[in-house]
Amino acid sequence: MSEETIFTKIINGTIPSKTVYHDDLVTAFLDIAPKAEHHILIVTNKPIPSVAHVEAEDEQMLGHLFIVARKIAEDLGVNESGYRLIVNVGKDGCQEVPHIHMHLLAGGYLGGFGFPHDKI
Ligand code: 5GP
């Protein structure tokens, strides 16, 4: 069996985290190195390495990420003011942890995003 990801260890409670939501399909916790006032990771409990590995059978679970994102945004009071959802994929997408997750960034105007720094 392949080694557990750091996020699986967080979901199982082996590694501590500040969990804000948990159900049968996903777990959400505060990012250890926040890039915005609110930075939450919404992680599938099933350890799929990345979007490049999703299958049709994962559709309901992946859609659930958005439902939980909206719930957390409501809890934070930013559902109307806005927020950003990011899913990094693979090396060029700067994905660090090989376990599907959605970043929820919120807390004020987040600015634009675009080309990588070395291409500007
Ligand atoms: P990625 O670059 O894979 O899209 O994002 C991985 C995220 O996981 C990063 O924002 C990083 O700060 C966060 N992270 C990495 N290790 C830990 C950890 O042990 N605990 C928590 N809470 N977040 C982590």
* Residues lining ligand 1, Cβ inside 6 A: 6, 15, 17, 29-33, 41, 88, 94-97
Mean pLDDT of 80-104: 97
15 has a pLDDT exceeding 60: yes
On the question of pLDDT at 68 being above 80, the answer is yes
Q: What are phi and psi of 37, to 5 degrees?
A: -55, -45
Q: What backbone torsions phi and psi does residue 13 show, to the nearest 5 degrees?
A: 90, 5
Q: Is 103 a catalytic residue?
A: no
The protein residue with its alpha carbon nearest to ligand 1, atom 18, reads 32
In the structure encoding, which two tokens stand for residue 51, read together?
């979007």
Q: What is the pLDDT of residue 119?
A: 66
Distance from chain centroid for Cα 10: 13
Q: In this model, does residue 76 exceed pLDDT 60? A: yes
What pLDDT, on the 0 to 100 scale, is given for residue 80?
A: 95
Separation between Cα atoms, residue 19 and residue 7, nearest integer Å: 12
Catalytic residue chosen out of the listed positions 53, 64, 101, 103: 101
In 3D space, the residue among 104, 86, 103, 100 whose CA is nearest the CA of residue 44 turns out to be 100
Which pLDDT score is estimated for 62? 98
Q: Tens of pLDDT along 39-57?
A: 999 999 999 999 999 999 9
Output the pTM of the full model. 0.95
